[in-house]
Amino acid sequence: MKEPLPSLLISIAEGVIDLGWGHPSPGLHPIALLKQATDHVLGGEEPTPLQYGAVQGFGPLLESLAAFLTSQPAYGFPVEPETLFLTAGASQGLDLCCTLFANAGDTVYVEEPTYYLVERIFEDHHLNVVGVPTDGAGLRTDALEEMLRSDSFPKPRLLYTIPAYQNPTGTVLSEGRRHELLRLADRHGFLVLADEVYQMLHYGPPPPRPLFGLDDSEAGVVISLGSFSKILSPGLRTGWIQANPRLIGRFLNAGLSVSGGGLNHFTSTLVHAAITLGLLAGNVALLRETYGGREDAMDRSIRARLGPKVSYKRPGGGYYFWLTFNGELDTEALQPIAQEVGVDFRPGNAFSLSGKFPHALRICFALYESERLDEGIGRLAKALESYDSMVHGLAAP
């Protein structure tokens, strides 16, 4: 008999604790919330949710989303509906940005390391991807400025950054560097694509404002990408773009949106219901509390079980810890050993085209509860022991 075709993107072998997937916890999927929203939307005779939606996105959601973001401490500035455009998720928004704002052969700068799957989107658009160094405070704007002044690097049309709780490093771009980045974009004429899907997932004080909120250039140099995937449900494939209305105008003229109408209309009516019924705010608060507990648990597990073998910075938000091992450890060589003891992760070099992170790995604390996370870190510690004894074994002839 043929295997049935998969339902989901995620696939984890039986018994394995796979810390590699950056996916939300199934137990936290707000099924009852969505049920309430759909009952609200489909309860009457109102056909609006099923018709072609407005080009900018479902108007009532543009308004309620603006109010919702304004109320979030991670925003901290009044969001205007005219600066929003609804997408079918951040990936779709990025794909559309490539279509509308770049040409084949153009260069896009990315953080090194960066979200590895985004590079595939850039490659599909025949863009040339160039890495910019990062450190514990995010993108190194000093290094960026040097690159922009040097003749050794092609000039960028776009720069892709994840300013808050970066994927994979968990770092937050400092406020000073945010201003510096915007100044460089304005001076050198590139557009910043800011992937800010973790912005509201802070487990302590909020990060600095999203980049759009700091952009005081006249024409706008930032497109901020938001998503309901991390704060409501990825299956809904619904997100937004925030940008200067001049840039929003280009999205309103896109063939894709004028032909099919709003990019995800029905799900937008559900999200609107979730906001107006007060359910989204409650869900974000619940996620912050739950993930905050897990982030704390993972931090304690790492300290207790891996101790001095790794260096890392506690992220304080988002989904990820980025561990860098001391010495000569190669995380790609560690991976099969880890898999054998029932744990998995993403090796550092999965996040870099230039292979600069052989000693690092990314682990996610969003998918499992604290106890499983601790068990996973325990298995990782065991894998490290096996690795060490293997290396020693090999070293001793």
Interface positions, 6-65, toward a copy of itself (CB under 8 A): 6-10, 23-24, 26-27, 29-31, 34-35, 38, 42-56, 58-60, 62-63
Give the residue with the Cβ less far from a copy of itself, 286 or 390: 286
Choose the stretch contacting a copy of itself; rule: CB under 8 A; options: 70-78, 150-158, 259-267, 293-301.
Answer: 259-267
Minimum CB separation from a copy of itself for residue 265, in Å? 4
- Cβ partners under 8 Å of residue 89, min gap 6: 227, 229, 234, 237, 238, 239, 264
On whether the CB atoms of residues 60 and 42 are closer than 8 A, the answer is no
Minimum CB separation from a copy of itself for residue 116, in Å? 9
**CA geometry: angle 218, 222, 225, nearest 5 deg:** 145
On whether the CB atoms of residues 130 and 159 are closer than 8 A, the answer is no
Residue ranges in 266-305 that form contacts with a copy of itself under rule CB under 8 A: 266-267, 269
Minimum CB separation from a copy of itself for residue 306, in Å? 29
Give the residue with the Cβ less far from a copy of itself, 224 or 229: 229
**CA geometry: angle 55, 90, 363, nearest 5 deg:** 165
Residue ranges in 167-186 that form contacts with a copy of itself under rule CB under 8 A: none
Residue ranges in 183-212 that form contacts with a copy of itself under rule CB under 8 A: none
Q: Which of 206, 220, 262, 376 binds a copy of itself (CB under 8 A)?
A: 262
- Cβ partners under 8 Å of residue 315, min gap 6: 165, 170, 171, 172, 295, 321
On whether the CB atoms of residues 102 and 253 are closer than 8 A, the answer is no
Q: How many residues bind a copy of itself, per CB under 8 A?
A: 80
Angstrom CA distances, 345 to 22, 323, 386, stand at 10, 11, 16
Q: Is 254 in the site for a copy of itself (CB under 8 A)?
A: yes
Q: Which of 134, 342, 96, 320 is nearest to 223 (CA)?
A: 96
* Largest separation between any pair of C-alpha atoms in the chain: 79
Minimum CB separation from a copy of itself for residue 238, in Å? 9
Give the residue with the Cβ less far from a copy of itself, 29 or 356: 29
Minimum CB separation from a copy of itself for residue 33, in Å? 10
CA–CA gap between residue 67 and residue 285 (Å, rounded): 16
- Surface-to-core class of residue 26, CB atoms within 10 Å of its CB (0-12 exposed, 13-18 middle, 19+ buried): exposed
Mark residues 212-241: x for contact with a copy of itself by CB under 8 A, - for none: -----------------x---xxxxx----
Minimum CB separation from a copy of itself for residue 324, in Å? 25
Residue ranges in 58-117 that form contacts with a copy of itself under rule CB under 8 A: 58-60, 62-63, 81, 88-92, 94-95, 99-100, 103-104, 117
Q: Which of 111, 112, 119, 186 binds a copy of itself (CB under 8 A)?
A: 119
Minimum CB separation from a copy of itself for residue 363, in Å? 18
Give the residue with the Cβ less far from a copy of itself, 43 or 205: 43
Minimum CB separation from a copy of itself for residue 246, in Å? 17
Please state the three-class secondary structure of 189-223 as a single string. CCEEEEECCCCCCECCCCCCCCHHHHCCCCCCCEE
